[in-house]
Structure 1
Amino acid sequence: MSVLYQAVRAVGGPAARLLFRPRVEGLHNIPRTGPVILASNHLSFIDSVVIPLIVPRRVAFLAKAEYFEGTGLRGRAKRAFFGGVGNIPVQRNDQRGALASLEIAMGVLHDGGAFGIYPEGSRSRDGRLYRGRTGVGWLALASKAPVVPVGLIGTDRMQPVGSNLPRYHRITVRFGEPMDFSAHVGRRDVGKARREVTDAVMSAIHELSGQEYAGVFNEHATAE
């Protein structure tokens, strides 16, 4: 772990426990070493802060490159914070950005790291769980890493979409049992295999989060 990451955890961890008052379930399901994909529902901007501060190992999330830009003290502070919680800057506004995102994720997993992903593609605006996009299936099959489903509850009330600062609200974070998709590796019907893996992951997330299932893709994912 980097010195910056350790510093952010040392300061942010206790502060997060006071602010989030998290109920954490199933933390033992996360392998302490080796590659693992953490696939979570996505309700709030704060999700990518909550998970890294709770999980006992470093978790890499992709973040908009804009979060790492800016000048002066504020710009430096933003870069230090987002880098400190394990976020990796990436341009995500076109197909090349999407491919670069998958390559970065594979690099993290290849190095034995933990990578966090939101299969819905974007935050839910209405609290429902949307259909997963197959990037998580692609990663699971290409890396052969286990997938730990994550259910977040209450982060949308702590920091609603559009809010700049978090509020004092208790949240719940549930980690499911690791999912092994090795039986799907090498299938000829690659597209179908990715969809089946993705749907299985979303079903596990649904069980953990208890959200209403929308059954359609999040139309805001492309825009964000």
Structure 2
Amino acid sequence: MLYWLLKWVVFLPVIRLLFRPWVEGREHIPSSGPAILVGNHVSAGDTYLLPALISRRVIFPAKAEAFEGRGFRGRVLKIFLEGIGMKPMDRSGGRASATSMVSVSQVLRQGQLLGIFPEGTRSPDGRLHKGKTGVARLALQARVPVIPVGMVDTAFVRLPVLGIPVMRRPGLRIGAPLDFSRYAGAGNDRDVLRYVTDEIMAAVQQLSGQTYVDAYASSVKAAAAEGRPFAVTELERPGVGKPVPPLPPATSAPSVSDSA
């Protein structure tokens, strides 16, 4: 209830009035059933723009720390995040991360849309950065389509007079669904997970038009914060020059849509 109230009464009217956004490729969003929406992450507004501009509900994972705040403010934030359907994602690795992945994948088992920004954090320089393989692991385990989304001109700029941050005609380019079910039996094969992730990020890059940097955005940010140089390599596209991994043996494991 809170999600739809905020979407139709608050976010969508404000976004349309102030930013005049545009959308291409709405037809690629399935009318029902689970799918993963994967986009580039340039601005804090991306998390609001994407779900506001498509008709179906989109649920994003949020960092687990946001659900653990103390005091009145922390409790209010937790209630808000849970009210709009956000799922806590532990990024520390190991068992904790695996457990939170189960919670996030529940969104797909319920036949809903899951939104993910594989860069893991906002781009520090406007370029597209290396994707983390969690999105590939989710897609292969759940056997659901991955829908690439290019966020265009979503960076905030300040008005010269009042200094108010605004977006100037931001847009979404939604691409055709990607099917990686042929690799569903690969398990945790690192080469397969990296290949699938790179293919997803390449589709996003084609839609967003960004330059690709073969480095994690978090590493670039950490180096900048510490004042140390960090060499990065620009590539034509993610995964360029890497071989396509062989297909795994056939498997009959059900998809989330089969088991829902």
**Fold agreement, TM-score > 0.5:** yes
- The CA deviation at 1:188 is 7.2
Percent sequence identity over aligned pairs: 42
Equivalent in the alignment of 2:3: 5
User: Is the Cα contact below 8 Å between 2:156 and 2:167 reproduced in 1?
Assistant: no
SS of 1:155's equivalent in the other structure is: coil
User: Is the Cα contact below 8 Å between 2:148 and 2:177 reproduced in 1?
Assistant: yes
Equivalent in the alignment of 1:121: 120
Assess, with a 3 A threshold, how the Cα gap between structure 1 residues 63 and 194 changes in structure 2: closer, same or farther.
same
2:179 matched to 1:176? no
Equivalent in the alignment of 1:202: 201
For each residue in 1:148-172, what CA deviation from the matched residue of structure 2 results, as whole angstroms up to 9, or x when unmatched? 001101222358xxxxx84253201
Unaligned runs of 5+ in 2: 159-163, 223-260
Measured in 2, the distance between the counterparts of 1:21 and 1:87 equals: 26
Equivalent in the alignment of 2:229: none
Measured in 1, the distance between the counterparts of 2:144 and 2:221 equals: 27
- The CA deviation at 1:67 is 4.0
Equivalent in the alignment of 2:150: 151
SS of 1:112's equivalent in the other structure is: coil
Unaligned runs of 5+ in 1: 160-164
Answer with 1 or 2: which has the greater Rg.
Answer: 2
Measured in 2, the distance between the counterparts of 1:45 and 1:220 equals: 19
TM-score of the two chains, using structure 2 as the length reference: 0.73
Assess, with a 3 A threshold, how the Cα gap between structure 1 residues 94 and 142 changes in structure 2: closer, same or farther.
closer
Equivalent in the alignment of 2:19: 20
User: Is the Cα contact below 8 Å between 2:124 and 2:220 reproduced in 1?
Assistant: no
> Which structure has the higher relative contact order (CA within 8 Å, separation 6+)?
1
Aligned CA RMSD, in angstroms, stands at 2.6
Assess, with a 3 A threshold, how the Cα gap between structure 1 residues 153 and 188 changes in structure 2: closer, same or farther.
closer
Q: Which moved more, 1:122-131 or 1:191-200?
A: 191-200
Q: Give 1:1-224 correspondences, 5 Å limit.
A: 3-11=1-9, 12-68=11-67, 69=69, 71-72=71-72, 78-79=77-78, 81-83=80-82, 85-158=84-157, 166-187=165-186, 190-220=189-219
Measured in 2, the distance between the counterparts of 1:212 and 1:26 equals: 22
Measured in 2, the distance between the counterparts of 1:48 and 1:91 equals: 18
- The CA deviation at 1:137 is 0.9
**What is the aligned length?**
215
SS of 1:186's equivalent in the other structure is: helix
Measured in 2, the distance between the counterparts of 1:26 and 1:108 equals: 23
User: Is the Cα contact below 8 Å between 1:62 and 1:101 reproduced in 2?
Assistant: no
SS of 1:199's equivalent in the other structure is: helix
